[in-house]
Amino acid sequence: MNFRIDNGILSAEISSIGGELRSLKSADGTEYLWQGDPRYWTGHAPNLFPYIGRFTDGKYTFGGHTYEMTRHGFIRNTPMQLCEQSDTKLAFGYCDCARTLAMYPFRFRYRIEYTLEASSLFIAYIVENMDDKTIYFGAGGHPAFNVPIESGRGFEDYRIQLEPGVQPTAILLTSNALAGNEVPYTGLTDSAIPLKHSLFDDDAIILHNAGASARICADSGRAVTVRFPDMPYVGFWHMPHTDAHYVCIEPWSSLCSRDGIVEDFATQPSLVSLGAGGVWTNRWSIEIE
């Protein structure tokens, strides 16, 4: 089921399946969010939890046991409970159950909140550790934005503008979409990545220490900015080897498995660790112009 919020400047529709954002429109009806197309990608803006990306051999270990989980975790396909609703705010929640414990051996409570404030949509991830031990996880977003945003422009008229002076590193993906070496990123021109479809022929561009925002813009006209002040990684993606008219800006707390390593959740370097009874909150936003 989809739910709608509207503050007169922006409106958003969010599905109870995975708490996924399905639409983000300005007051004049301009749609900023990719609406899905099976020729390219049917997603809109899935939420990623409790893992981001793929596992080596599709599995990981914890406490001497081996577990299997699908790419990007299970929350994106999970029906969630509506917890809070007003004209400008929606919140959805989900707790562990027998199904999740079979693939993720931790007790947790996950909540996602959407709040409209002026021309921005704020998204908050809240994870509570309901276990008697430390839990480990990754969380992030995967929103896709229409490019071009408005008629009369082409894909290559746009760029992804980062903050001035940033010097990010890139996490190289191996042929099986696992994490490889981390190297200086050399694809910036005046702190921006000029868009062209071939950028994504080797899958996502994943940056570390890329600042706290990324803006899809042309030299003038409409733009969209994703701000992620507390996410150490950001990914940019569209379906490889296509002319898809969208770009994902994906703020992430952690990375996928390292190639050739079946990760132990207690020792994978980038995962969030949260002690018993702890609460982790991460707030990021989408601003339209």
Q: Where are the domains of the chain?
A: 2-288
pLDDT of 194 reads: 98
b/e burial code for range 202-233 (CB count within 10 A of at least 16 → b): eebbbbbebbbbbbbbbeeebbbbbbbeebeb
Q: What is the pLDDT of residue 89?
A: 98
> What does the pLDDT read at residue 121?
98
Predicted pLDDT at 107:
98
Measured between alpha carbons, how far is 169 from 278 in angstroms, rounded to an integer?
Answer: 31
Q: What are phi and psi of 197, to 5 degrees?
A: -60, -35
Q: In sequence order, what are the residues at sequence separation of 6 or more whose Cβ sits closer than 8 angstroms to the Cβ of residue 95?
A: 108, 109, 110, 130
> What stretches in the chain show pLDDT beneath 70?
none
Token pair listed for 232: 């150490």
The single residue listed with the structure tokens 């080897």 is 241
What's the start-to-end Cα distance of the chain, in Å?
Answer: 28
Q: What is the pLDDT of residue 118?
A: 98
Tokens coding 227: 């701000």
Task: Give the pLDDT score at 49.
Answer: 98
Task: Give the Å distances, CA to CA, from 132 to 63, 71, 157, 171, 277.
Answer: 14, 27, 52, 34, 7
3 burial level (CB within 10 Å; 0-12, 13-18, 19+):
middle
Long-range pairs of 18-21 with CB within 8 A, sequence gap ≥ 24:
18/46, 18/47, 18/75, 18/76, 18/77, 18/78, 18/80, 19/47, 19/75, 19/80, 19/92, 19/112, 19/114, 20/44, 20/45, 20/46, 20/47, 20/76, 21/45, 21/114, 21/121, 21/123, 21/143
Cα–Cα distance measured from residue 97 to residue 81, given in angstroms and rounded to the nearest whole number: 14
Q: What pLDDT does 46 receive?
A: 97
2-288: CATH topology is Beta-galactosidase; Chain A, domain 5 (2.70.98)
Question: What pLDDT is recorded for position 134?
Answer: 98
